[in-house]
Amino acid sequence: MFSDFSAAELSAIFAMQGFAGLILFAVFVLMALGLAIIFGQMGVINMAHGEFMILGAYVTYMTSNLFASHFPQLFGSYFLFAIVFAFFAAALLGALVEWSMIRFLYHRPLDTLLATWGLSLIMQQTYRSIFGAREVGVVIPDWLMGSYQLTDMIEVPINGLFVMVLAVLATLFVAALMYRSRWGKQVRAVVQNRPMAGAVGINTARVDRLTFALGCGIAGVAGSAFTMIGSTGPSSGQLYIVDTFLVVVFGGAGSLLGTVASAFSISQSQSILEFFMGGSMAKVLTLLVVVIILMFRPQGLFSLKVRR
C-alpha cells in the first residue's frame, strides 16, 4: 500500500490523517456536549437532540439568506452571528419544551425517551412543512471553504479548523460554567441531592430549566457549525443521534471529562480504521470495541453520581 511513496509524501498524508482524526474529534465533542449536560446532569434521554441541532442549522440558513438580501457587504461574517442566533433559538425552544413537557417526566427516564422521540418526529415534520422536504443548501462564505496550505503537501480544511476552534471554546465555556460559576455549583448540587438543594434555597425548577436550555443551545451551536460539513434537511438530525449517544454513554454519564475522553478515543479509532479498512468496517470494529468495553465497565469510562 505504501511502497510507491516517498517518505515525505507519506509523512504528509499521515499528518493530514492526524488532522482528519482531530476534526472528527471536534465534531464528536460538539455533538455530545449538549447531550452530556442534559443526559448526564438531568438524566433525561433526549431523543430530539438531533432535531435541536438541525434547528441551529436552519437558523444558520435563515441568517445567511437574511445577510445575502439585506447586508450583502457583511456576508463574509454572517456565520459568527448565525452561531449566536442558533444558540439562543435552540435554548429558547429547549426552555419551552422543558416547561411544557420534560418537567412532568423527571425520574421517568423511559418516558422521557418516548416523549422526546415523539417530539423529534413533531419537529421533523414541522421543518418539513416550513422549509420543504428537500435539503436546503447553506451558502458558506468563501473564507470558510477551501483549505489552508500548511506546507507544499499538507493541506488542512479550514472548515475543520473552524469546528475545532469552536469545539474548544464551547468546552471551555461549559467547563467554566459548570465548575467555576455559582450557577454550575447549583446544578451540581441539584444533581447530587435535590431535596437538600431545595432546602438550602436553590430554585431547583429554575436550575432544571436553564440546564436543559443550555444543553439545547449548545446543540444549536453544533448544528450551526455542521452546515459546513454535512447536510441540512428535516431529518438530518437523525444522522447524528446514534453517534452522540454513543459518545455520551461510553464516556460515562455526567462527566464532562468522560465525554471529551470518549469522543477522543472513538473518533481516533474510527478515523484510523477508516483510513486502513474503509468506512463500514471501521464502524463495525469501533462499535465492537465499545460494546466490549461497556460490558466490563457498564458505567462508562468516567463516572460520577447521577441523580436518583
Partner 1 sequence: MDHSNDSKPFKQTRRKFLSTTVTAITAAVMMASMPMTIQAAAPATAEVNTTGLAVTDNTVKVGILHSITGTMAISEEGSVQAEILAIEQINAMGGVLGRKIEYIQEDGASDWPTFADRSNKLLRQDKVAAVFGCWTSASRKAVLPIFERYNGMLYYPTFYEGLEQSPNVIYTGQEATQQVLAGLDWVAEEKDAKTFYLIGSDYIWPRTSNKIARTHIEQHLGGQVVGEDYFPLGHTSFNSVINRIRLRKPDVIFASVVGGSNVAFYRQLKAAGLDMTKEDFTLLTISVTEDEVLGIGGENIAGAYASMKYFQSLPNENNEAFVKAFKERWGADAVIGDVTQAAYLGPWLWKAAVEAAGSFDVDKVRAASPDIELTTAPEGYVRIHENHHLWSKGRIGHAQRDGQFKVVHETEELMEPDPFPAGYQ
What residue type is 202 in one-letter code?
I
Least distance from partner 1 to the Cβ atom of residue 55, Å:
16
Cβ nearer to partner 1, comparing 283 with 307: 283
Taking every pair of Cα atoms in the chain, the longest distance, rounded to a whole number of angstroms, is 71
Distance CA 34, CA 28 (A): 11
- In whole angstroms, the minimum distance from the beta carbon of 260 to partner 1 comes to 18
Buried b or exposed e, range 261-296, using 16+ CB within 10 angstroms: bbbbbbbbbbbbbbeeeeeeebeeebeebbeeeeee
Q: Are 101 and 119 in contact (CB under 8 A)?
A: yes
Indicate the residue among 155 and 289 with the shorter CB distance to partner 1: 155
Q: What whole-number distance in Å separates Cα of residue 47 and Cα of residue 2? A: 43
Between 195 and 280, whose beta carbon lies closer to partner 1? 280
Amino acid at 90: A
Nearer CB in complex with partner 1: 41/60: 60
* In the chain, alpha helices (H): 7-35, 42, 49-70, 78-100, 109-131, 158-180, 182-192, 194-199, 204-226, 238-251, 256-277, 279-296
Angle (CA) 69-71-76 rounded to 5° is 105
Cell of 237: 438530525
Q: Min. distance of Cβ 44 from partner 1 in angstroms?
A: 24
Interface residues with partner 1 (CB under 8 A) are: 1-2, 5, 13, 16-17, 19-21, 23-24, 27, 125, 128, 132-140, 145-147, 149, 155, 157-160, 226, 228-236, 238-240, 271-272, 274-275, 278-280, 282-283
Angle (CA) 281 299 241, round 5°: 50
CB of 230 to partner 1, least distance (A): 4
Are 151 and 10 contacting, i.e. CB atoms less than 8 angstroms apart? no
Q: Which is nearer to partner 1, 240 or 245 (CB)?
A: 240
CB of 268 to partner 1, least distance (A): 11
Least gap, CB of 210 to partner 1 (angstroms): 30
CB closer to partner 1 out of 241 and 260: 241
Alpha-carbon distances, residue 144 vs 49, 82, 139, 276 (angstroms)? 26, 14, 10, 29
Question: Which of 67/240 has CB closer to partner 1?
Answer: 240
Taking the complex as a whole, the smallest distance from the CB of residue 51 to partner 1 amounts, in Å, to 13
Q: How far is the CB of 261 from partner 1 (least distance, A)?
A: 19
- Is 83 or 102 the residue whose CB approaches partner 1 more closely? 83
CA-CA-CA-CA torsion sign (34, 43, 58, 184): negative
